[in-house]
Amino acid sequence: MQTFFIIAILVLGFLITFQIAKASEYVAVIRGEEKSRKQTNKINAFLLLLFLIVGLIGVWYCNDRLAGKILKIGEASSDHGILVDRMLKYTLIATGVVFVITQGLLFWYSFKYQESDKRKAYYFPHDNKLELIWTVVPAIVLTVLVGFGIVYWYRITGPAPKEAMIVEITGSQFKWEYRYPGADKELGKKYYKKINPEEQNPLGQIWEDEFNHDDVYTSGQDEPLHLVVNRPVKLIINAKDVIHDVGLAHFRLKMDAVPGTPTTMWFTPTKTTEQMKKETGNPDFVYEISCDQMCGAGHTSMRGTIVVETQEAYDQWFASKKSQYAMMLEAKNPPAADSAGAKPAAPAADTVKGLAQLK
Amino acid sequence: MSDALHIQPEVGTSHGAHHDEHHVHHHKETFITKYIFSQDHKTIGKQFLITGIIWAIIGGLFSVLFRLQLGFPDQTFPILETFFGKWAEGGRIKPEFYYALVTMHGTVLVFFVLTAGLSGTFANLLIPLQVGARDMASPLMNMLSYWFFFMASVVMIASMFIQTGPAAGGWTVYPPLSALGEASIGSKAGMDMWIIAMALFVVSQLLAGLNYVSTILNMRTKGMSMTRLPLTVWALFFTAVLGILSFPVLLSGLILLLFDRNLGTSFYLSDIYIGGQALPNEGGSAILFQHLFWFLGHPEVYIILLPAMGMVSEVLSVNSRKPIFGYMAMLGSMFAICILAFLVWAHHMFVTGLNPFLGSVFVLLTLLIAVPSAIKVFNWLTTLWRGNIRFTPAALFGIGFVSLFISGGLTGIFLGNSTIDIHLHDTMFVVAHFHIVMGVASFFGMFAGVYHWFPKMYGRYMNNTLGYIHFWVTMIGAYLIFWPIHYQGLAGMPRRYLDKSVWVNFSQFHELDKMITVVSIIVFAVQLMFVFNFFYSIFKGRKVTTQNPWGATTLEWTTPINPGHGNWTGEIPEVHRWAYDYGKDGREFIPQTEPVGANESKH
């Protein structure tokens, strides 16, 4: 019913507008087309000026209403995010100035040089000096912006520090999964044909690779990703099925997860989750991982969370975790068999092939 | 002042021109040869325009539907179920339906409306008229280009009615999502049809583009040197060159995708575990497709934008009664844009794991584009400066175009800088940016063109009052819709999210989304009013009574009011000067056909 009313109102409004428009055309013919054209011209010139003024007020009002809802520029939660924010600020200032000047001139000229019988248009086909100025000035401003941009870009994408902790994050429709290396600080090899969630191998780890034996697996659906504050972390990013993207808005970072082509991203979180709860005044605050690359029907719900905590809290949490390898063995030899048989089963033929392919 | 024109008797009606014996290729015309399988460039232009309008209504309607979901995620609209059945069960848009809508909205508007509908219309209409040719170099190829476009349209429309629905992987159709039926329902048969439709579309673009280029290079009338061409023709020339060089790359990318989908190849697929199964494909690269796609995808942006720039230059110059400022600089900057358009594609891929060094090269090249863009903006401003501006609806849309181009161009400086792009990539900020600079701005250029050249197309005017309402509502609406969306992007909100309720950090824009949806419905309604105005005026509009209603210098206004096939009844006029002698030596305007006087000042 509501829809029907809306459509009826639209149709009616349209009919009225159309009748007025038609009538005004006749009136114009009767009153003299030239005269009414000039009048319309004045009205439009005035409206353009009004648009400029109201528009600029609107820009201010919009900012006033929404600035509190965006991520505060300059308060990113990672070291790299601070660089991004700084670049954003410089660009905002530069483009803001240009925006006000050019929009101002556009509408002001339109108003000021509206048609008038008293004035004749000024024949001004070109002026080399002027053109040179507005080639060179933007070029200089842009060079500065590019300069900063590239320096920051190299800093952000440069190699991760040696002491960085490594975490692997894997996207699939529509969830995130994490893998932490154990005491050996290295992730074991994996091969996608080994993936077998029923046999406790959701990521396709190759059990023959000893680096895998202490790797801890958690699913994003059960648990957040754990990171340590002020400790660099290098994410190794994978996807199982289609392209996803690890979007970390509060850290101002993002990297695609591409099936078949692992990517990496490193940064140092600088604020714990608890700290952010206080800063944002939101007791429910969590760092969220959003999938930023369209990945299918559940794209919207592909959400992960991150806890940034102190080293102690992290160690405590990590100590409570069992390696996936142990879980696999438990599943294979139910507890009765005891943990004495914690030896890997003989490699199947295709595992060897898989290993060979990895080399 | 227009005494140098050919004054032909009895050219007021279209029939008068038709039986003129000047055109050797002229046969007896039937309804079919005149309106359907016509080889007259003007009719083909109109065919492109009207098909484009129909597509624009479809594409626009899709955006209204998904805006309903974004603005009112908790509400149900039973009417949707009436029309769309299982796709909107209980009056709620399903995610699969939402993504199909988004994908089709993008595909339709980018390719079918703003490529075919925009450059297809105006290249066809204006190139022969403004260079002084009786028709295109190959009228037959020209006709085929429309009919390939038509076939592409039929296939694309048909894909919307199959059981699994149309393509739904976004208009960029990145594999593996678009390659695997298991990954998304839209990647089943709908995706194959999408590829076929696009292949036909590419054929249409190539036929058209080659024709445009050869017409401009070979069929200019006597005296029409390249630097005397109006900027519209130059813009359409560069557009055609971009299309010819980049569309084949898209086609190759799509053919590989078709192979991956149907023949078991692994160009884009590797290490995939989906639906509880590991696929055999190994060694492909999903990123390869993105390179191929954006090698067209970025020039495509300029394929859409350049014709609008050209028409706006023309319309602003005519209506400010002043020459376009810096003709050669305008030309040079279009040339620079055209070259750079091919060298920036990877700025769409900064976060795909691209080599950082390569990324930095693309940052530099991308931000370089801002220089020619800035030159163009300043030149338009100077064109208005000390003019004597008539605000026809076309001129208003021209001014609106410049305003939007500034706004959207400046946000491009954010996104082109890879450091900021890491943060803003694939967020709503991108949506706001390209809708303003490529979507709405190009539409404004198109509207300017339609209002300005409507008298040439149909020998009648469009209703001005409706034109002014159309302009003001669209202008205000465009800013109300897209300006605040930048803020959603700055909050980190990803694009293509249909429901933000589960997200702690993105769910704070509820009221805003509602406002945007309401405005977009109003703006859409006003576009329908424009369409009505367009069709009504074809039959009932005020008749054009003078040959040159805008007092313009270019050649199309030396043809009869309703030109027949062949355009000029007598000989094609000779050209003696550039296209922008407005306000020179105290004269209102001097047509291109007038010989240079002995005492005329030089510029």
CATH of the domain at B421: 1.20.210.10
- What is the distance in angstroms between the CA of the first residue and the CA of the last residue of chain B? 20
Identify all chain A residues contacting B375, using CB atoms and an 8 Å cutoff: 131, 134-135, 138
User: What torsion, rounded to 10 degrees, do the Cα atoms A196, A200, A201, A203 define?
Assistant: 100
Residue B113 forms part of a structural domain: yes
> Quick one: DSSP state of residue A77?
S
For residue B8, is pLDDT > 50?
Answer: no
Residue A10 pLDDT:
80
Residue B23 forms part of a structural domain: no
Q: How far is CA B520 from CA B466, B477, B532, B534, in A?
A: 19, 7, 18, 21
- Residue of A14, A41, A70 lying closest to B529 (CB–CB): A14
Phi, psi of A293 (to 5 degrees): -120, 120
For residue B15, is pLDDT > 80?
Answer: no
Phi, psi of B354 (to 5 degrees): -55, 145
Q: Where is pLDDT greater, at B64 or B27?
A: B64
Nearest in space to B475 (alpha carbons), one of B550, B530, B429:
B530
Residue B6 pLDDT:
42
Residue B13 forms part of a structural domain: no
Pairwise CB contact (< 8 Å): A241 & B180: yes
Between CA B514 and CA B491 the distance in angstroms is: 17
How many CB pairs (< 8 A) connect A and B? 376
Between CA A274 and CA A287 the distance in angstroms is: 11
Which domain does B420 fall in, by range? 35-268+284-586
Which residues touch A245 (CB under 8 Å, ≥6 apart)? A171, A254, A255, A256, A257, A291, A292, A293, B351, B426
- Closest-CA residue of A relative to B70 is A300
Neighbour-count burial for B531-558, b at 16+ CB within 10 Å, e otherwise: bebbebbbeebbebeebbebbbbbbbbb
- A105 and A143 co-located in one domain: yes
3-class secondary structure, A343: coil
Residue A250 forms part of a structural domain: yes
Between CA A91 and CA B228 the distance in angstroms is: 39
Nearest in space to B159 (alpha carbons), one of B79, B100, B247:
B100
Query: Min CA distance, A153 vs chain B (Å)?
Result: 5
Residue A336 pLDDT:
57
- Closest-CA residue of A relative to B271 is A260
Query: Min CA distance, B330 vs chain A (Å)?
Result: 10
| pLDDT band, residue B43 (cuts 50/70/90) | very high
Kindly tell me the number of DSSP H helices and DSSP E strands found in chain A: 8, 10
Number of domains present in the structure of chain A: 2
- Residue of B272, B364, B379 lying closest to A241 (CB–CB): B272
Q: What six digits make up the tokens of A43?
A: 């009205």
Pairwise CB contact (< 8 Å): B582 & A17: no
Query: Min CA distance, B327 vs chain A (Å)?
Result: 7
ipTM higher than the 0.85 cut: yes
- Residue of A91, A124, A135 lying closest to B417 (CB–CB): A91
Residue B21 forms part of a structural domain: no
Pairwise CB contact (< 8 Å): B425 & A138: no
Asked if the C-beta of A75 comes within 8 angstroms of chain B's C-beta atoms, the answer is no
CATH number of the domain where residue A228 is located: 2.60.40.420
For residue A348, is pLDDT > 60?
Answer: no
Which domain does A170 fall in, by range? 165-337
Residue A126: is it exposed, middle or buried by C-beta count within 10 angstroms (0-12/13-18/19+)?
A: middle
Phi, psi of B174 (to 5 degrees): -65, 130
- Closest-CA residue of A relative to B351 is A255
Share of chain A above pLDDT 70, in %: 93
Residue B27 pLDDT:
58
Average pLDDT value for residue range A342-354? 45
- A178 and A324 co-located in one domain: yes
Residue A59 forms part of a structural domain: yes
- Which B residues, 409 through 448, put their C-beta within 8 Å of a C-beta on chain A? 410-411, 413-414, 417-420, 422-423, 425-427
Nearest in space to B43 (alpha carbons), one of B524, B562, B536, B401:
B562
Q: What is the pLDDT of residues B407-416, one digit of tens each?
A: 999 999 999 9
Name which of A109, A141, A196, A357 to mutate to probe chain B: the one with the most chain B Cβ atoms within 10 A of its Cβ. A109
Share of chain A above pLDDT 90, in %: 76
For residue A301, is pLDDT > 70?
Answer: yes
- Residue of B382, B425, B491 lying closest to A70 (CB–CB): B491
For residue B12, is pLDDT > 60?
Answer: no
Identify all chain B residues contacting A193, using CB atoms and an 8 Å cutoff: 278
Pairwise CB contact (< 8 Å): B287 & A241: no
Asked if the C-beta of B115 comes within 8 angstroms of chain A's C-beta atoms, the answer is no
Nearest in space to A258 (alpha carbons), one of A352, A171, A355:
A171
Asked if the C-beta of A296 comes within 8 angstroms of chain B's C-beta atoms, the answer is yes
Residue B602 pLDDT:
74
- Residue of A121, A204, A297 lying closest to B583 (CB–CB): A121
Q: What six digits make up the tokens of A328?
A: 């696999």
Asked if the C-beta of A153 comes within 8 angstroms of chain B's C-beta atoms, the answer is yes
Share of chain B above pLDDT 70, in %: 95
Q: Is the dihedral of CA A332, A337, A339, A342 positive or negative?
A: negative
Between CA A278 and CA A153 the distance in angstroms is: 31
Q: What six digits make up the tokens of B472?
A: 């003001």
For residue B35, is pLDDT > 70?
Answer: yes
| A93-97 LR contacts (CB < 8 Å, sep 24+) | A94/A141, A94/A145, A94/B413, A95/B410, A95/B411, A95/B413, A95/B414
- Residue of B403, B417, B508 lying closest to A106 (CB–CB): B403
- Closest-CA residue of B relative to A117 is B388
Q: How far is CA B347 from CA B343, B422, B490, B517, in A?
A: 9, 11, 19, 30
- A135 and A183 co-located in one domain: no
For residue B113, is pLDDT > 90?
Answer: yes
Residue A235 forms part of a structural domain: yes
Query: Min CA distance, B25 vs chain A (Å)?
Result: 41
Q: What is the pLDDT of residues B266-309, one digit of tens each?
A: 999 999 999 899 999 999 999 999 999 999 999 999 999 999 99
- A310 and A268 co-located in one domain: yes
DSSP-assigned letters across all residues of B318-350: HHHTSPPTTHHHHHHHHHHHHHHHTT-GGGG-T
- A230 and A92 co-located in one domain: no
DSSP-assigned letters across all residues of B236-257: HHHHHHHHHHHHHHHHHHHHHH
Identify all chain A residues contacting B100, using CB atoms and an 8 Å cutoff: none
Residue A121 forms part of a structural domain: no
Query: Min CA distance, B524 vs chain A (Å)?
Result: 11
Pairwise CB contact (< 8 Å): A154 & B496: no
Between CA B139 and CA B161 the distance in angstroms is: 34
Residue A335 pLDDT:
64
> Quick one: DSSP state of residue A251?
G
Residue A99 forms part of a structural domain: yes
Between CA A228 and CA A224 the distance in angstroms is: 13
Phi, psi of B257 (to 5 degrees): -65, -40
Tell which phi-psi region holds residue B76, choosing left (phi > 0), alpha (psi between -120 and 50) or beta. Answer: beta
- Which B residues, 121 through 180, put their C-beta within 8 Å of a C-beta on chain A? 169-170, 174-177, 180
- A144 and A173 co-located in one domain: no
Which residues touch B271 (CB under 8 Å, ≥6 apart)? A192, A259, A260, B282
Residue B5 forms part of a structural domain: no
Q: What is the pLDDT of residues A109-151, one digit of tens each?
A: 999 999 998 888 899 999 999 999 999 999 999 999 999 999 9
Pairwise CB contact (< 8 Å): B423 & A253: yes
Number of domains present in the structure of chain B: 1
Name which of B422, B470, B475 to mutate to probe chain A: the one with the most chain A Cβ atoms within 10 A of its Cβ. B422
- A238 and A90 co-located in one domain: no
Asked if the C-beta of A127 comes within 8 angstroms of chain B's C-beta atoms, the answer is yes
| pLDDT band, residue B26 (cuts 50/70/90) | low
Name which of A57, A292, A351, A358 to mutate to probe chain B: the one with the most chain B Cβ atoms within 10 A of its Cβ. A292
Between CA B38 and CA B456 the distance in angstroms is: 18
Between CA B291 and CA B358 the distance in angstroms is: 13
Q: Is the dihedral of CA A218, A219, A223, A229 positive or negative?
A: positive
Query: Min CA distance, B24 vs chain A (Å)?
Result: 41
**Pairing of β A244-248 and β A233-239:** unpaired
3-class secondary structure, A125: coil
Residue A357 forms part of a structural domain: no
In chain A, at which residue ranges do the beta strands (DSSP E only) sit? 165-172, 175-180, 216-219, 225-228, 233-239, 244-248, 253-257, 263-267, 287-291, 303-309
Do A180 and A203 meet the contact criterion of CB atoms below 8 Å apart?
Answer: no
Residue B603 pLDDT:
64
Q: What is the pLDDT of residues B357-400, one digit of tens each?
A: 999 999 999 999 999 999 999 999 999 999 999 999 999 999 99
Residue A124 pLDDT:
92
Asked if the C-beta of A157 comes within 8 angstroms of chain B's C-beta atoms, the answer is yes
- Per DSSP, what are the bridge partners of residue A288? A305
Between CA B359 and CA B375 the distance in angstroms is: 26
Give me the residue label for tokens 């355009």. Answer: B567
Residue B11 pLDDT:
39
Phi, psi of A184 (to 5 degrees): -75, -5
CATH number of the domain where residue A99 is located: 1.10.287
Between CA B221 and CA B137 the distance in angstroms is: 13
Asked if the C-beta of B379 comes within 8 angstroms of chain A's C-beta atoms, the answer is yes
Q: What is the pLDDT of residues A40-67, one digit of tens each?
A: 999 999 999 999 999 999 999 999 999 9
